[in-house]
Amino acid sequence: MNMKFNKNEDHNKLLVSSLNHKLKRIKLGGGEKRIEKHHAKGKMTARERIDFLLDEKSNAIEIGAFAGEGMYEEHGGCPSGGVVVKMGYVSGKQCIVVANDATVKAGAWFPITGKKNLRAQEIAIENRLPIIYLVDSAGVYLPMQDEIFPDKEHFGRIFRNNAVMSSMGITQIAAVMGSCVAGGAYLPIMSDEALIVEKTGSIFLAGSYLVKAAIGETVDNETLGGATTHSEISGVTDYKARDDKDALTRIQNIMDKMGDFDKAGFSHKKAVKPKEKQEDIYGILPKKRSDQYDVREIISRLVDGSEFEEYKEGYGQTIITGYARIDGWAVGIVTNQRKIVKTKKGEMQFGGVIYSDSADKATRFIANCNQKKIPLVFLQDVTGFMVGSKSEHGGIIKDGAKMVSAVSNSVVPKFTIIMGNSYGAGNYAMCGKAYDPRLIAAWPSAELAVMGGTQAAKVLAQIETAAMEKKGEKVDEEKEKEVFEAIKSRYDEQTSPYYAAARLWTDAVIDPLDTRKWISMGIEAANHAPIEKDFNLGVIQT
């Protein structure tokens, strides 16, 4: 192992340590005192409920753990968006679980809460996965109601999705384990089966105070919409549970009786671990953005048996494509090469940049994977498409458009891992969030932006100093440096993988060693949804 490997390893392990520290804090939700108050009511926390519900010693991945991170500070913050979402197994059936965290503002819905719930439903719809809602929410966070209530992708879209999923035959089970008020009351009742917990669960369109104000009736919340009312009088719920554990056990029993699903038929064999040591990824991935590395070294530590069948190896070398297996599942891998390469014509190509030939290769490979029904895995470390007169004359826009079209129209499931850079149109061509990856996760080393921080800060600093000079302000070298550093600091914060994850531009920030699990569980989920249309590139320039 050389010195550079050791420095890279130390750097990346520190990034993973920081990731774990952040996750530990986020998992406390509203904090230890609020958790204690929650327990005092005889209730389990959202995470405790999910842990009890999911099969013991089975794999699970969390979606959107960093949602809301650093946002809404003026409102006291909203850790994990006030809702916990996991993909896991209940009675051996893969499913999505959504649990309101009542330790965060009584489980009230912030704008990011709505976005996260919609993402959970989107995953369930795309993959035909059963979805379980563990409801404990005070409803919309009123101080921000204008950002959560009326638009197409706001609160109301949840119930629209309930209806759509029901018509698609996707199982939905809801357990009311706390408050379930106003518009939110429709969610459990639009599910296939609804449970309610005695004493702690309640469902009503308006609570006792609002009822008194609106129609003058005096009634307590338990009589208005408690477990006995809805299980024995209104018939709104299907089961009455003694406590949280009883409700969760009943859900396990319901899931246990479910039949099998139609399969997409993706190729799967017995999983084999990579021959190469997976932990070496920490030492291979460079600390410096400008350093080169051979992405094949990363691939060999992610794929079964470290076996990779490379497609068009000698052509378009700034994108590497090929076939492999991950945890037994057949995959087509599309990844950026951060190594400077020489073409047969003797031309040098910069690593991490998409050239016409590499875009052309990727387009052809994506088409092949669609024809063979092989899921696609995109490993991003891209600075964008090549610029300059030579590239423009060579038709880089046309070739880039072909690749974007292939990614857009792909009918096999796509999975994206952002390892390093994810800049500009390179993010799009390599299946960024806008291109419907079934799952998208970032390593702690990732950066997402229109361009790199240094380049962007230089451009913005030039504009700002020019504006200052126009106003007659004196701008010396020291002032230029001050302006540049201020802009770069702000820009770097926005390129952080945590900034992206907070806004759900990615589903998670993950340890690189969890990549195989994410892709494997993602393909297993996608196998629930047979492909219903043919691959068609549409109209493209040739």
CA distances to 85, 113, 336, 441 from 11, rounded to whole Å, are 30, 33, 22, 20
For 394-434, the pLDDT digits (tens) are 889 999 999 999 999 999 999 999 999 999 999 999 999 99
| Beta carbons within 8 Å of 434's beta carbon, 6+ residues apart | 428
pLDDT value for 141: 87
Task: Please tell me whether residue 97 adopts helix, strand or coil conformation.
Answer: strand
Classified by CATH at the fold level, domain 31-257 comes out as: 2-enoyl-CoA Hydratase; Chain A, domain 1 (3.90.226)
The length of the chain is: 542
State the Cα–Cα distance between residues 399 and 358, nearest whole angstrom.
9
DSSP state of 504: T
pLDDT score of 193 more than 90:
yes
Catalogue the E-assigned strands of 157-305: 172-181, 193-197, 202-204, 239-241
Name the residue among 439, 448, 364 with its Cα closest to residue 407: 364
Residue given tokens 């379980």 in the structure block:
132
pLDDT value for 477: 78
pLDDT score of 456 more than 80:
no
CB 197 within 8 A of CB 177: yes
Q: Where in the chain is the domain with CATH 3.90.226.10?
A: 1-29+264-446+506-533, 31-257
For 104-162, the pLDDT digits (tens) are 999 999 999 999 999 999 999 999 999 999 999 988 888 898 898 888 888 889 999 99
Q: Which of 85-89, 148-152, 216-220 has the highest mean pLDDT?
A: 85-89
Name the residue among 304, 196, 292 with its Cα closest to residue 4: 292
Report which secondary-structure segment, H or E, holds 376. strand 376-382
For 491-531, the pLDDT digits (tens) are 788 899 999 999 999 999 999 999 999 999 999 999 999 99
Of the pLDDT bands very low, low, confident and very high (cuts 50, 70, 90), residue 455 is confident
The predicted model gives 303-307 an average pLDDT of 98
For 114-127, the pLDDT digits (tens) are 999 999 999 999 99
State the Cα–Cα distance between residues 32 and 23, nearest whole angstrom.
15
β-sheet bridge partners, residue 323: 309, 332
Name the residue among 291, 349, 283, 292 with its Cα closest to residue 319: 349
Task: Please tell me whether residue 542 adopts helix, strand or coil conformation.
Answer: coil
pTM of the model: 0.94
CATH number for the domain formed by residue range(s) 1-29+264-446+506-533: 3.90.226.10
β-sheet bridge partners, residue 321: 311, 334
